[in-house]
Amino acid sequence: KAGVTQTPRYLIKTRGQQVTLSCSPISGHRSVSWYQQTPGQGLQFLFEYFSETQRNKGNFPGRFSGRQFSNSRSEMNVSTLELGDSALYLCASSTSHRGTNTGELFFGEGSRLTVL
């Protein structure tokens, strides 16, 4: 079974630009979550999507957004990039049961964003 696939793996942007990251979950997993990993803040929850709807959201500004497609693939977008947005962005998929997710996450290898 293929794991979680994230693209691109590395990218460099400048302040003020926007970026879109893509995630393909494990086949059969319908819940996709995004996390930001930085040396200073560790792993922080951004949002979770299930059935093309955002189901849960962390404490990030509105510049961070996402969406999910009917095939469960997900994208996240960061607009008006700031230097502090430099991080590893991790996507994780999980199964869902009776309206909630199990909490067991399977992570991709991440997209490393550098903002200059």
Partner 1 sequence: GENVEQHPSTLSVQEGDSAVIKCTYSDSASNYFPWYKQELGKGPQLIIDIRSNVGEKKDQRIAVTLNKTAKHFSLHITETQPEDSAVYFCAASKRALDTGRRALTFGSGTRLQVQP
Distance (Å) of CA 15 to CA 19, 82, 85: 11, 5, 9
CB of 58 to partner 1, least distance (A): 7
How far is it, in rounded angstroms, from Cα 7 to Cα 94? 19
Residue 101 binding partner 1, by CB under 8 A: yes
Task: Identify which range of 13-21, 48-56, 61-69, 77-85 contacts partner 1 by CB under 8 A.
Answer: 48-56
Q: Output the smallest distance, CB 3 to partner 1, in A.
A: 9
Cα angle, residue 88 at apex, residues 37 and 2 outer, rounded to 5°: 105
Report helix, strand or coil for 75. Answer: strand
To the nearest whole angstrom, how small is the minimum distance from the Cβ of residue 16 to partner 1?
Answer: 28
Binding site for partner 1 (CB under 8 A): 4, 33, 42-45, 48, 50, 55-56, 58, 90, 92, 99-110
